[in-house]
């Protein structure tokens, strides 16, 4: 018997577990100190009312013999896949329900979709990256290459034709930087992937936060994407489903490699290893994609973007460089006075505010900190007042 030794090649502790441990240890030393967390990207507003009512009704249906549901289709109930297809139609994108697969969240699918690809493939991702992309591929033993995001390219790097890759991760709006690709930027990646016969895994979990109508919210808005891209999305941030769990993956029929439709491979994988999301949760998700559901979820998103505005106003006042916030719930800022990521994290924590060290997302994140706009407005205002004082004291 042998274990998967690739696990020795990843950090023993997940980034956010380390952040949580440091916060806990500080709290134990200073039990009376209030610590406001702007670190973990977890929503704080409750589920929209229309979703709650749909969940209640579906729960009652499961309690009656006439409306009880047992196993459903592994790829999701047709009523939900039809609604998502309609949602994409509103973006000007045609997606067939058979190309949509319902799951328990984007994080799961971003790791699980690798099952349909050989471990011999070379993976390309940003050097400042959501840890799931990196760790799942290290666990599998794939070769990994990085493209560099930095302040010069606003953390939106473009492809290099001299670099070969088979699987490419792109997140827009990006976690952790909050940067959003425009259509020209995504077109460059689509053209590159088609040229290299590569597959883009496009994480669009934060697409609902894009308010600029000139920015794409789906990679399938880009010509040529259906022959090179898989899109993975989630309702965690769109509708507050972090604790309810529902996402979806779109695998176009046009996506073919080695004479095989990847849609069929993913269907085979899901029907073998996944029993689907519960009927109750899918009915709640269906309500998200109604006219009233859209209105209510956007009110929550507007609230979070308002939190981001509070943060940006303070950063602007202090003259701190940052990106994100306008079309994203994340703000990526340069640590003041050339402090290191963990150094500034610890310093800020001493004032009762917790962010996420940029270096935790990759070595080129050193010197940066991520803040999230998911919080109560009152707490965000208090946290940024503490942040401002911390920076003022630092510069004395």
φ/ψ of residue 121, rounded to 5: -70, 145
Mean pLDDT computed over 362-370: 94
φ/ψ of residue 288, rounded to 5: -60, -35
Q: How many C-beta neighbours within 10 Å does residue 242 have?
A: 17
Q: Give dist(CA 288, CA 218) in Å, integer.
A: 18
Helices 15-29 + 341-349 axis angle, to 10: 30
Dihedral sign (CA 75, 79, 80, 84): positive
Q: How many C-beta neighbours within 10 Å does residue 67 have?
A: 12
Q: In 3D, which of 232, 244, 243, 176 has the Cα closest to residue 207?
A: 232
Mean pLDDT computed over 166-170: 98
Could you read off the pLDDT of 252-310 as tens digits, one per residue?
A: 999 999 999 999 999 999 999 999 999 999 999 999 999 999 999 999 999 999 999 99
Quote the mean pLDDT of the chain.
96
CATH 3.10.450.50 fits 49-290, yes or no: no
Residue 69 pLDDT class (50, 70, 90 cuts): very high
Chain-centroid distance, C-alpha 196 = 26
**Would you say residue 14 has pLDDT above 80?**
no
Q: Give dist(CA 74, CA 70) in Å, integer.
A: 12
- Kindly list the domain boundaries of the chain, sorted by start residue: 7-47+293-391, 49-290
Mean pLDDT computed over 223-252: 98
**Would you say residue 72 has pLDDT above 70?**
yes
pLDDT at 11 (0 to 100)? 80
Chain-centroid distance, C-alpha 176 = 8
Classify residue 127 by its DSSP letter. S
**Would you say residue 361 has pLDDT above 70?**
yes
Q: Give dist(CA 211, CA 217) in Å, integer.
A: 10
pLDDT at 366 (0 to 100)? 96
And the tokens for 84?
Answer: 């998502």
Q: How many C-beta neighbours within 10 Å does residue 17 have?
A: 11
Q: In 3D, which of 15, 107, 128, 11 has the Cα closest to residue 354?
A: 15
Q: How many C-beta neighbours within 10 Å does residue 170 have?
A: 24
**Would you say residue 224 has pLDDT above 80?**
yes
CATH number corresponding to 7-47+293-391: 3.90.1150.10
Sorted by sequence, the CB contacts under 8 Å of residue 49 that are 6+ apart come out as 296
Could you read off the pLDDT of 89-138 as tens digits, one per residue?
A: 999 999 999 999 999 999 999 999 999 999 999 999 999 998 899 999 99
Q: Give dist(CA 185, CA 160) in Å, integer.
A: 13
**Would you say residue 12 has pLDDT above 80?**
no
Lowest-confidence segment of 11-15, 83-87, 185-189 by average pLDDT? 11-15
**Would you say residue 13 has pLDDT above 70?**
no
User: Max alpha carbon distance in the chain (Å)?
Assistant: 71
And the tokens for 149?
Answer: 């995001």
Residue 396 pLDDT class (50, 70, 90 cuts): confident
pLDDT at 41 (0 to 100)? 86
**Would you say residue 17 has pLDDT above 90?**
no
Could you read off the pLDDT of 169-221 as tens digits, one per residue?
A: 999 999 999 999 999 999 999 999 999 999 999 999 999 999 999 999 999 99
Residue 15 pLDDT class (50, 70, 90 cuts): confident
Q: In 3D, which of 137, 104, 116, 77 has the Cα closest to residue 272?
A: 116
Classify residue 240 by its DSSP letter. S
Q: Give me the half-sphere count of Cα atoms (radius 13 Å) on the Cβ side of residue 227.
A: 13
Q: Classify each residue of 313-349 as buried b or exposed e, where b means 16 or more C-beta atoms within 10 Å of its C-beta.
A: ebbeeeebebbbbbbbbbbbbbbbeebebbebbebbb
Q: Give dist(CA 48, CA 299) in Å, integer.
A: 9
Contact 184, 177 (CB under 8 A): no
Contact 110, 201 (CB under 8 A): yes
Mean pLDDT computed over 341-365: 95
pLDDT at 2 (0 to 100)? 97
């Amino acid at each position: 018997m042998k274990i998967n030794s690739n696990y020795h090649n990843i950090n023993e502790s997940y980034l956010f577990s380390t952040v949580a441990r440091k916060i806990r240890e500080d709290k134990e030393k200073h039990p009376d100190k209030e610590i406001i967390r702007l670190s973990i990207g977890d929503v704080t507003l409750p589920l929209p009312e229309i979703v709650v009512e749909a969940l209640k009704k579906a729960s009652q249906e499961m309690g009656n013999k006439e409306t009880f549901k047992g196993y459903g289709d592994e790829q999701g109930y047709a009523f939900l896949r039809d609604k998502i297809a309609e949602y994409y139609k509103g973006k000007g994108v045609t997606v067939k329900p058979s190309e949509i697969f319902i799951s328990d969240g984007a994080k799961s699918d971003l790791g699980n979709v690798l099952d349909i690809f050989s471990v011999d493939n070379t993976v390309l991702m940003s050097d400042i990256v959501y840890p799931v992309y990196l760790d799942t591929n290290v666990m599998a033993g794939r070769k990994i290459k990085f493209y560099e995001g930095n302040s010069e390219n606003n953390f939106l790097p473009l492809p290099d034709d001299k670099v070969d890759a088979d699987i490419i991760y792109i997140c827009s709006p990006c976690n952790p930087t909050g940067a959003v690709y425009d259509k020209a930027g995504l077109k460059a990646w689509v053209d590159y992937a088609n040229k290299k016969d590569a597959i883009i895994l496009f994480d669009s979990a934060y697409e609902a936060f894009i308010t600029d109508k000139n920015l794409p919210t789906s990679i399938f808005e880009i010509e040529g994407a259906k022959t090179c891209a898989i899109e993975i999305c989630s309702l965690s941030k769109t509708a507050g489903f972090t604790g309810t769990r529902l996402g979806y993956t779109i695998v176009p029929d046009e996506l073919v490699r080695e004479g095989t439709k990847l849609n069929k491979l993913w269907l085979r994988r899901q029907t073998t290893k996944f029993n689907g999301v519960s009927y109750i949760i899918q009915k709640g998700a269906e309500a998200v994609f109604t006219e009233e559901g859209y209105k209510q979820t956007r009110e929550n998103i507007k609230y979070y973007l308002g939190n981001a505005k509070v943060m940006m106003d303070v950063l602007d006042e202090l003259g701190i460089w940052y990106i994100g916030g306008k079309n994203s719930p994340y703000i990526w800022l340069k640590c003041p006075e050339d402090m290191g990521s963990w150094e500034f994290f610890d310093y800020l924590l001493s004032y009762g505010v917790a962010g996420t060290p940029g270096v935790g997302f990759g070595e080129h994140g050193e010197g940066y900190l991520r803040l999230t706009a998911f919080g109560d407005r009152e707490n965000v205002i208090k946290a940024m007042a503490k942040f401002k004082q911390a920076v003022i004291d630092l510069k004395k």
